[in-house]
Amino acid sequence: YFLWSSMPDDELLKLAESGKLRGELRSQTDRMLRDRKSEAFFRNFTGQWLQTRDIETVIVDARQVLQREAPPDPDGERRRRRFRELRDRVYETLNEEEKKELDEIRAVFGQRFRQPLRAELTGEIRRAMRLETEKTIERIFREDRSLLEVLDSNYTYLNEALARHYGLTNLGVKGGEMRLVELPEGTPRGGVLTQGSVLAVTSNPTRTSPVKRGVFVLENLLGTPPAPPPPDIPPLEESSRGGSGSPLSLRQTLTLHREQPLCASCHNRMDPLGLAMENFNAMGMWREQERGQALDASGTLITGESFTNVLELKRVLVQGRSPEFFHTVAEKLLTYALGRGVEHTDTATLDLIAGKLKAAGGKPSVLLSEVIDSAPFQRSRATSASTAQPRSASLTPVSLPADLTKPRLSP
Asked if residue 405 has pLDDT above 90, the reply is no
Query: What percent of the chain has pLDDT above 90?
Result: 66
Give the pLDDT band of residue 256 (cuts 50, 70, 90).
low
Which of the two residues, 221 and 114, has the higher pLDDT score?
Answer: 221
pLDDT at res. 85:
87
Give the pLDDT band of residue 287 (cuts 50, 70, 90).
very high
- The pLDDT tens digits for 297-324 are 999 999 999 999 999 999 999 999 999 9
| Identity of the residue numbered 238 | E
pLDDT at res. 125:
97
Burial 33-59 (b: 16+ CB within 10 A, else e): beeeebeebbbebbbebbbbbbbeebe
CB 169 within 8 A of CB 285: no
pLDDT at res. 246:
56
CB 165 within 8 A of CB 284: yes
- The pLDDT tens digits for 155-170 are 999 999 999 999 999 9
| Identity of the residue numbered 411 | P
pTM of this prediction?
0.82
Asked if residue 409 has pLDDT above 50, the reply is no
| Mean pLDDT, residues 46-64 taken together | 96
* Long-range pairs of 182-187 with CB within 8 A, sequence gap ≥ 24: 182/154, 182/155, 183/153, 183/154, 183/155, 183/156, 185/154, 186/311
